[in-house]
């Protein structure tokens, strides 16, 4: 039975995923690569352990070198110093490399999962996000999010380790003084918390602004012809400038907020440091500590400033990273096409039955299909005609389960299509849809698209001949191996259509659907393609959709559609005899020859006295 499908459950104004949840999800991606994090953690720990050795050594060198006379060979000094920095550098390098190794692995995992989500997503997603946004979410978001998180994690590990080691050493040197330096900590925490809150808000606004900017660029890259034909470059430039300026504004706000953290923490930290240095000098002047003690303590103390500053700086990248990750996870969570069917169907005869099928698109005021019942026996040729928006393409989308049934059911060979696995259902259809979509590749790759057994060149040629495209392809530089550009941009409209027909012909399916497949063809090409389609008759179930009625005259059954219903059905002869809508359409089209190519003529003929509806705008 038809699922009460997701189409009816508008989920649009969803609560955004809490950042904590985004963090948890991100962690679940980091987890499988824990070995790299652990190893890099070790490297950084050792690297950090070297850190307090430096001031400790200074103390040793200064105390013994300056006060008690040299007790060691002088060459040890440079050797030890260089050695220590070399060790620290090597350890940090290895730590960074291992961490990056993990980061790139996580990015790869996320990208794969995002692509999987995109490939499975329900049709609704594609009316919500543009191709540019999809690209951005899959290519950039994982990198931006995990990379920043990785560098931040490196910084946290490195700096926290250094800080712990340094503070440990400070406590060992002079615990009273060190404890005093902690007094400014609570103040620091409150300051940072406030700034973080603002950072999250600004970060989200910045992310959304970036998406709008991507959309603008995406529009302009896709619709460049329209933009130029309408001489809209200035308009588009202005639209872009506005969005880009907005984005810059948010970026600056975000920078200002995060840049505030450092000076604020430094001023707060300065309180502590000033007290400590004063006290240390006092202690030293009373002879309570050696010059070495003092220098060492102050060196170690000053060395804590850098990691401390870095640690307070992590708020912004973490918030940014989580916001970006959330954007990616939202795509990952977009509902998949409902595929609850369990039945497999390896071969099909191509018998189709619609039983009171009803389709209602989300947000549409009226159903796109209603009370739609039709039986198509295997091997029959059925044509759908009717006004634009009557629901013809919706019949196709529903058959392929791109649009979901709200009521009724559809069967293929007697099996409810909802009970079939999606892949099992769709393999029985070869479709040339109204919007031709081609891939960036060669002619042959497009014809034998995604065929598991590779490209059968002889069959490709056959299909191209049947689609009346071979003549053109054989004159191309590399024949069928010539590239056709993005979405077939190097082909003419009619050639693109014929290539799509060849692609459908290559597929061995039981049901063939041609939705306005020959609308862009010249009469000669159309005749050839028509003949190829004619050759398929009776061996395949054929569904033809056309505005040009001459192309579907020979169909076994012609269904005239209006407002999602079949209002007339029968053969050409019987419909003409009936003298209803179809007969009227045929009359209009044949009245002035290719009437459908000049519908305005038909319109004016039927609405003689009325003035042009657009007159007041002209």
DSSP 8-state symbol, 63: I
- Residues comprising the chain, all counted: 618
573 touching ligand ATP, by CB under 6 A: no
For the bound state, the minimum distance from the C-beta of residue 124 to ligand ATP, rounded and expressed in Å, comes to 8
Q: Closest CB to ligand ATP among 418 and 515?
A: 515
Instruction: Give the pair of three-digit tokens for residue 118.
Output: 């995109």
434 touching ligand ATP, by CB under 6 A: yes
45 touching Mg ion, by CB under 5 A: no
Return the axis-axis angle of helices 76-120 and 141-181, rounded to nearest 10°.
140
Q: Closest CB to Mg ion among 266 and 434?
A: 434
Q: Closest CB to Mg ion among 324 and 394?
A: 394
Contact residues for 381 (Cβ-Cβ < 8 A; gap 6+): 537, 541, 542, 544, 554, 555, 556, 557
Q: Which of 247, 329, 361, 429 binds ligand ATP (CB under 6 A)?
A: 361
364 touching ligand ATP, by CB under 6 A: yes
CA 385, CA 392: separation in Å to the nearest integer? 7
Q: Closest CB to ligand ATP among 196 and 434?
A: 434
CA 297, CA 332: separation in Å to the nearest integer? 52
For the bound state, the minimum distance from the C-beta of residue 554 to ligand ATP, rounded and expressed in Å, comes to 20
Q: Which of 161, 269, 328, 368 binds ligand ATP (CB under 6 A)?
A: 368
DSSP 8-state symbol, 338: P
- In the region spanning residues 118 to 137, those forming contacts with ligand ATP, defined by CB under 6 A, are 127
393 touching ligand ATP, by CB under 6 A: yes
357 touching ligand ATP, by CB under 6 A: no
Tell me how many residues contact Mg ion (CB under 5 A): 2
Q: Stretches 131-139, 388-396, 450-458, 460-468: which one binds ligand ATP (CB under 6 A)?
A: 388-396
Q: Stretches 80-88, 134-142, 215-223, 390-398: which one binds ligand ATP (CB under 6 A)?
A: 390-398
Q: Are 381 and 556 in contact (CB under 8 A)?
A: yes
- Region class of 616: left (phi > 0), else alpha (psi between -120 and 50), else beta: alpha
Angle among Cα 504, 506, 509 to the nearest 5 degrees reads 70
518 touching Mg ion, by CB under 5 A: no
- In the region spanning residues 229 to 268, those forming contacts with ligand ATP, defined by CB under 6 A, are none
Q: Closest CB to ligand ATP among 393 and 468?
A: 393
391 touching ligand ATP, by CB under 6 A: yes
CA 568, CA 21: separation in Å to the nearest integer? 55
Phi and psi (nearest 5°) for 304?
-75, -20
Q: Which of 40, 162, 393, 530 binds Mg ion (CB under 5 A)?
A: 393
For the bound state, the minimum distance from the C-beta of residue 433 to Mg ion, rounded and expressed in Å, comes to 8
Tell me how many residues contact ligand ATP (CB under 6 A): 12
For the bound state, the minimum distance from the C-beta of residue 113 to Mg ion, rounded and expressed in Å, comes to 34
389 touching ligand ATP, by CB under 6 A: yes
CA 133, CA 245: separation in Å to the nearest integer? 19
Give the number of other Cβ atoms within 10 Å of residue 240's Cβ.
Answer: 15
365 touching ligand ATP, by CB under 6 A: no
Q: Which candidate, 317, 331, 339, places its Cα nearest to that of 110?
A: 331
CA 423, CA 121: separation in Å to the nearest integer? 14
Q: Which candidate, 447, 452, 451, 493, places its Cα nearest to that of 470?
A: 447
394 touching ligand ATP, by CB under 6 A: yes
DSSP 8-state symbol, 8: G
- Using CB under 6 A as the criterion, which residues of the chain lie in contact with ligand ATP when the complex forms? 127, 361, 364, 368, 388-394, 434
- Using CB under 5 A as the criterion, which residues of the chain lie in contact with Mg ion when the complex forms? 393, 434
């Amino acid at each position: 039975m038809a699922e009460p499908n997701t189409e009816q459950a508008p989920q649009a104004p969803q609560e955004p995923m809490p950042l904590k949840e985004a963090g948890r999800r991100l962690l679940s991606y980091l987890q499988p690569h824990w070995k790299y994090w652990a190893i890099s953690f070790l490297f950084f720990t050792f690297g950090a352990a070297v850190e307090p050795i430096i001031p400790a050594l200074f103390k040793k060198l200064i105390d013994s070198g300056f006060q008690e006379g040299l007790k060691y060979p002088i060459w040890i000094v440079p050797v030890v110093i260089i050695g220590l920095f070399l060790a620290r550098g090597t350890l940090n390098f290895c730590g960074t490399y291992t961490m990056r190794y993990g980061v790139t692995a996580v990015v790869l995992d996320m990208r794969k999962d995002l692509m999987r989500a995109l490939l499975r997503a329900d049709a609704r997603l594609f009316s919500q996000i543009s191709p540019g946004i999809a690209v951005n979410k899959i290519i950039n978001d994982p990198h931006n999010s995990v990379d920043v998180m990785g560098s931040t994690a490196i910084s946290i590990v490195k700096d926290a380790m250094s800080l712990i080691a340094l503070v440990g050493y400070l406590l060992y040197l002079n615990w009273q003084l060190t404890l005093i330096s902690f007094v400014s900590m609570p103040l620091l925490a409150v300051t940072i918390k406030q700034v973080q809150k603002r950072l999250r808000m600004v970060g989200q606004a910045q992310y959304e602004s970036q998406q709008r900017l991507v959309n603008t660029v995406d529009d302009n890259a896709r619709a460049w012809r329209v933009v130029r034909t309408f001489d809209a470059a200035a308009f588009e430039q202005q639209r872009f400038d506005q969005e880009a300026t907005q984005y810059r504004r948010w970026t600056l706000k975000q920078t200002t907020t995060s840049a505030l953290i450092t000076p604020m923490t430094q001023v707060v930290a300065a309180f502590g440091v000033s007290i400590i240095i004063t006290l240390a000098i006092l202690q030293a002047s009373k002879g309570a500590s050696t010059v070495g003690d003092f220098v060492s303590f102050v060196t170690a103390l000053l060395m804590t400033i850098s990691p401390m500053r870095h640690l307070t700086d992590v708020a912004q990248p973490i918030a940014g990273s989580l916001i970006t990750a959330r954007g990616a996870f939202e795509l990952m969570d977009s509902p998949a096409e409902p595929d609850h069917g369990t039945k497999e169907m390896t071969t099909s005869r191509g018998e189709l039955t619609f039983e009171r099928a009803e389709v209602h698109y989300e947000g549409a005021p009226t159903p796109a299909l209603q009370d739609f019942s039709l039986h198509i026996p295997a091997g029959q040729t059925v044509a759908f005609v009717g006004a634009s928006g009557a629901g013809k393409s919706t019949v196709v989308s529903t058959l392929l389960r791109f649009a979901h049934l709200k009521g009724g059911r559809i069967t293929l060979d007697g099996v409810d299509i909802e009970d079939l696995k999606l892949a099992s259902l769709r393999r029985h259809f070869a479709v040339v849809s109204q919007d031709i979509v081609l891939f960036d590749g060669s002619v042959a790759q497009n014809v034998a698209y995604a065929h598991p057994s590779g490209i059968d060149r002889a069959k490709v040629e056959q299909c191209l001949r049947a689609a009346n495209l071979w003549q053109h392809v054989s004159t191309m530089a590399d024949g069928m191996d010539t590239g056709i550009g993005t979405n077939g941009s190097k082909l003419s409209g009619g050639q693109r259509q014929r290539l799509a027909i060849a692609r459908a012909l290559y597929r061995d399916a039981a049901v063939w659907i041609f939705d306005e497949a020959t609308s862009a063809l010249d009469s000669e090409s159309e005749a050839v393609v028509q003949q190829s389609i004619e050759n398929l008759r009776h061996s395949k179930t054929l569904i033809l959709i056309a505005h040009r009625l001459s192309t579907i005259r020979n169909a076994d059954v012609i269904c005239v559609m209006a407002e999602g219903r079949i209002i007339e059905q029968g053969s050409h002869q019987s419909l003409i005899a009936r003298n209803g809508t179809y007969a009227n359409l045929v009359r209009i089209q044949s009245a002035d020859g290719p009437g459908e190519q000049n519908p305005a003529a038909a319109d004016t003929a039927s609405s003689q006295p009325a003035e042009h509806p657009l007159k007041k705008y002209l």
